[in-house]
Amino acid sequence: MKSVQERAYGKLNLTLDVLGKRDDGYHDMCMIMQTVSLSDLVTVTLTEEDGWVCSCDHEAIPQGGKNLAWKAAEAFFEAYGKRPEHLLIDIQKQIPVQGGMAGGSADAAAVLRALNVLHGTPYTAEELADIGSAVGSDVPYCVIGGTALAEGRGEIISKLPPLPDCYFVLVKPEFSVSTPALFKKLDESADGAHPDTQCAIAALQKKNLHGLCRCMTNVFQPVLSKDFPVIDEICARLVDLGAERACLTGTGSVVFGVFTQRDIAEDAVLNLSKDYTVFLAENV
Ligand code: C5P
């Protein structure tokens, strides 16, 4: 029995732009992504019995073949050319489910990394990311992690200079959103404050956190806030509590505030915890 554990880090969108709809039904994206310390723990074990089992301590996560982690294992062994009879994937969840933090994709990426280690590292990170692209648009980024630009469907990844150290207060309102439904709403909407991605990249190159914060925008936010004004309310509250900037991540529903000082971020966590599920995280 051989076992490998991997941390599956959640992601935030420091910027998120949708450039247009494609013929294949997907949208062309341009997003600055950042992994954060809030993470799931994924354990992959090559066993001698029980077939394939995928278990998770969160009731909303599918346990079998519908789980992205399972699909990632299928994709790995298809590329590798040899599929084991027995495999155990265990996921301990911390990343909020349906939060726009790519929790499922992070787990899938962790499975790819773990299987790569278990098989003597046959693939580079770029090759693993390529294997992951069929599993989900965010999986290639989750394989690579750090600060990066994601383009195309989300699967074309370019490394960016690392985000200067800061603290994130992550707030999860109760509701969750269907990603395809929100893309459709965006297509039909005239709203859309687009981020200035080039300005954000220039700020990263200068290690200028304030400058970067000024460029943080998510094109989904005005569309989602129409139905869920709580998104903008939480952003305003985070700024009142000392955040440099607050923004929606992905298609939501998690909202994050960027803080430069830990004690101020901790006070914000205490304040917002009265009303919401809240986490403190750092960039990784
Ligand atoms: O690739 P993934 O399975 O994560 O995408 C989920 C859904 O999100 C797609 O079926 C599509 O409706 C939408 N999507 C999109 N454009 C992207 C990524 C996702 O329209 N670039």
CB 181 less than 6 A from any atom of ligand 1: no
Reduced to 3 states (helix: H, G, I; strand: E, B; else coil), residue 8 is strand
Q: Which atom of ligand 1 is nearest to the CA of 152?
A: 21
CB 153 less than 6 A from any atom of ligand 1: yes
| Residue 268 backbone class (left: φ over 0; alpha: ψ -120 to 50; beta: rest) | alpha
- With cut-offs at 50, 70 and 90, classify the pLDDT of residue 116: very high
CB 179 less than 6 A from any atom of ligand 1: yes
Residue with the nearest Cα to atom 21 of ligand 1? 153
**Cα angle: 111, vertex 115, 121; to 5 degrees:** 130
Q: Which of 11, 71, 93, 172 is catalytic?
A: 11
- Taking residues 24-40, what's their average pLDDT? 97
Q: Which atom of ligand 1 is nearest to the CA of 179?
A: 8
CB 92 less than 6 A from any atom of ligand 1: no
Report the C-alpha gap between 165 and 276 in whole angstroms.
Answer: 25
Token pair listed for 91: 């996921």
User: From the CB of residue 57, how many other CB atoms can be counted at a distance below 10 Å?
Assistant: 12
CA of 178 to the centre of ligand 1 (A): 10
Token pair listed for 226: 């129409």
Report the C-alpha gap between 133 and 112 in whole angstroms.
Answer: 11
- With cut-offs at 50, 70 and 90, classify the pLDDT of residue 121: very high
Residue indicated by tokens 């998690």: 254
Nearest Cα neighbor of 256 from 209, 197, 216, 284 is: 216
Token pair listed for 257: 């505030």
Q: Which atom of ligand 1 is nearest to the CA of 105?
A: 4
- With cut-offs at 50, 70 and 90, classify the pLDDT of residue 60: confident
Q: Which of 40, 93, 138, 172 is catalytic?
A: 138
Q: DSSP code of 155?
A: T
Report the C-alpha gap between 211 and 217 in whole angstroms.
Answer: 13
Reduced to 3 states (helix: H, G, I; strand: E, B; else coil), residue 19 is strand
Nearest Cα neighbor of 31 from 102, 119, 108, 132 is: 102
CA of 89 to the centre of ligand 1 (A): 25
138 assigned to active site:
yes
CA of 26 to the centre of ligand 1 (A): 6
Digit-coded pLDDT (tens) for 68-110: 999 999 999 999 999 999 999 999 999 999 999 999 999 999 9
87, 55 contact by CB (below 8 A): no
CB 162 less than 6 A from any atom of ligand 1: no
- Taking residues 205-215, what's their average pLDDT? 97
CA of 227 to the centre of ligand 1 (A): 21
- Taking residues 208-228, what's their average pLDDT? 97
Report the C-alpha gap between 96 and 168 in whole angstroms.
Answer: 14
Q: What is the pLDDT of residue 65?
A: 84
CB 52 less than 6 A from any atom of ligand 1: no
- With cut-offs at 50, 70 and 90, classify the pLDDT of residue 59: confident
Q: What is the pLDDT of residue 193?
A: 86
CA of 136 to the centre of ligand 1 (A): 8
Q: pTM to 2 decimals?
A: 0.96
